[in-house]
Amino acid sequence: MSRKLAPLLPAVDRSGLSPFDISREDQAKRKRVGTDIACNPCRKRKTRCDGLRPACQACLKRSTECIYAEKKEGTKTAQSPEVLQELFDLMRSVPEDQALQILWSLRSNDDLASVLAAAKAGVRKKAHPPDQSSMRSKLPKESSLELELMVKNPTAYPKPKSSLTALERAGLLGPKRLRRSKSLDHQYVCPVVLQSAAMQLRVFDPNLFITDLVDQKDTHCSPLLVNSLLYWGCQMYTAIEENANKLAESFCKEAERLWLTQKNNDSLLNAASSQLLSLAYLGHGKDHYVLKYLSTALRMGTRLCLFGVEAPQAINNIKRLSPEMQRASSFTAWGVFNWGVLMALFYQQPGLEYPGHPPVLPIPGVLRSDSPSPGSSSLRADPSEALPPYMGSTFSTLCQFWRILHGVTLSYYKDKPTSLPEHASIDFAEFKYRELLAWIEGLPSDQALKDHSPHHVVVLHIWFHAAILDLFRPFLQSTARERQRLKTFSARRSYPEAAFNASVNQLKQLVVRYRCNYESSAYTMLWQTALIYVANAVLHNTEDPEWRLYFLACIYGYEGLRTSYRVAEVISRGLLTMSLQEGDISGSEARHLLKQVTEPEGAGGKGDVRATFMADLDLAMTDPEAAKVENLAKRFEDVALFSDFTTMDDEEARRFQRIETPD
């Protein structure tokens, strides 16, 4: 029986095709795939190879391993040593700024040939420069020092984003409100407190504290410490549950009552409680209490030999403690010390006391060698006493950071009869800058900035760049003749203002990142350092076309904080007064912005808000009294009224209208 076969389609009618078309069609059918080298299996089978890597199509169809032999011809490949040598020779021959740009290209591009071609093109353009205006528009924003920092210190100075997205702009200039559908719940309050800002300012061992709290013991837990902690925690929680501000007031009153019975007793628990009260009073706008409780905590810590005493005396005292008490003492010593240095540097509180020596106790979570380096601990931490997983290593890292900056506060602010620019040393500033750069480049990988870094890591980098601004601020007013160069950097324009501006650019990026991506931007005050420092920087550089955007971002950043912290509104008022004094905005613009910050839902609390820390950071170096937040805020109406009489053009006001975004 004959087999049935599938019918064939009729052949294509070629009668209508010209000989040229037929020839071209046949050539297309016979066209071979060109490739420089065939894989070994195709060579062995003598079959056509398309040269695709890592596996050609023929090997994929055969399910065989595709192997390519190394090319042995003497031609120069894209990754050959000849290309690398030519690139190296070119870098040696071009000016320093071009060499740094080539090096940056190498870090971000694996194709040496393309980097070489681009570099050669750049050299040719340099040899035949275009007209001055077009050349200026193509210059990179970064200074030569900033490029050097980005290349040599990528952890400290990652390359900034070129521009903001529309979503980022809306997030910066829109309101941020946190809501909960359920009533106040202690199961939610505890994680907010223990896993947020407490990670940067740990003043007690969390494991020992919780254990004694559950077991109702008073060795590592006390009613005063619990009420102080909940006073601060409920302030933060007000951003989520407005009724929490009533609880905050209740915890505050109870803590004050308990403090009267405990203030004369030197203990770890009382020192930790005093520090927490100073932190909570800062957000509540009670600066006179901030200084009172912080000074008490520092004096108590010194009497307990936690810090402020010579190492031999501290070590002799510590060795008499049990391992458990040594661990508890380490947390309190470093927590109180860190807060004291932070307040001295970023807030420049008048009348604040400075401990003369850092703690000798080991940093919690950090192992020490038996031969300590100068200024470090001479005791070893127990490797079994790891920090809680949610803390990472941020607290330990910050202890090292504040120990470096302790020397800056002593040199810049302690018992100085003259203004800061008169006694600050550029050599000392550069030494500390180098110390900070070495420290941050040696951080563990979980402390480097990444797309999904925890919020406390971002705050760490905020504090790092804010400290650099304070380090170089005294040298920004120097004339061109007086200007001193940083000696240990190779860039030609290695001046203090270049390092200052490089960190300003990083702080701008960090404000965008934190405000847009982290809910904690609405309930922790610890990141506000970035807001006040960026606002100061842009108000002194209004030639920058984006200065308004970043200034508004700072004002609306405080808007997000005002529900929890009464002081946020006063800081905003002080910054707006600064902008009015410089004539950067009109009185109507300033009132419009202030209205956005103050309406509605103002944070609870009675009485005047006291804010004696600095708002105008440049003025603070010569006239601290006039630079205080509260004094600038009081002048707002007078300055705005004067601006109304001297400003006739309202065109600029429309540019300050708020960008409305849905809740």
Rounded Cα distance between 192 and 176, Å, is 17
Cα atoms found within 13 Å of the Cα of residue 263, Cβ hemisphere only: 13
Write down the CATH number for the domain with range 39-69: 4.10.240.10
Which long-range contacts does 632-635 make (Cβ < 8 Å, 24+ apart)?
632/573, 632/574, 632/575, 632/577, 632/578, 633/570, 633/571, 633/573, 633/574, 633/577, 635/577
SS (H, E, C) 423-460: HCCHHHHHHHHHHHHHHHHCCCHHHCCCCCCCHHHHHH
- Is the four-CA dihedral 52, 55, 60, 66 of positive or negative sign? positive
Cα atoms found within 13 Å of the Cα of residue 235, Cβ hemisphere only: 29
Contact 520, 457 (CB under 8 A): no
574-587 as b/e: b if 16+ CB within 10 A: bbbbbbbbeebbbb
What pLDDT does residue 170 have?
65
What pLDDT does residue 575 have?
96
Strand partners, 187: none
What pLDDT does residue 186 have?
47
What pLDDT does residue 11 have?
63
What pLDDT does residue 132 have?
38
Rounded Cα distance between 377 and 33, Å, is 69
pTM metric for this prediction: 0.75
What pLDDT does residue 113 have?
74
Contact 531, 576 (CB under 8 A): no
Residue-range domain boundaries for the chain: 39-69, 80-121, 186-655
Rounded Cα distance between 278 and 286, Å, is 9
Mean pLDDT by 10 residues, the chain (663 residues): 62 50 45 66 84 85 81 48 76 73 70 74 54 39 80 92 67 63 47 56 90 94 96 89 90 96 95 95 87 94 93 88 93 96 89 86 72 42 55 85 95 85 93 97 91 91 98 84 84 92 96 91 92 96 90 92 90 94 87 79 62 92 92 91 65 48 43
Helix 96-108 to helix 112-127 angle, to the nearest 10 degrees?
A: 160
Compute how many other C-beta atoms are within 10 angstroms of the C-beta atom of residue 216.
Answer: 7
Cα torsion 333, 448, 189, 172 to 10°: value is 120
Cα torsion 268, 271, 274, 279 to 10°: value is -90
Side chain identity, residue 457: V
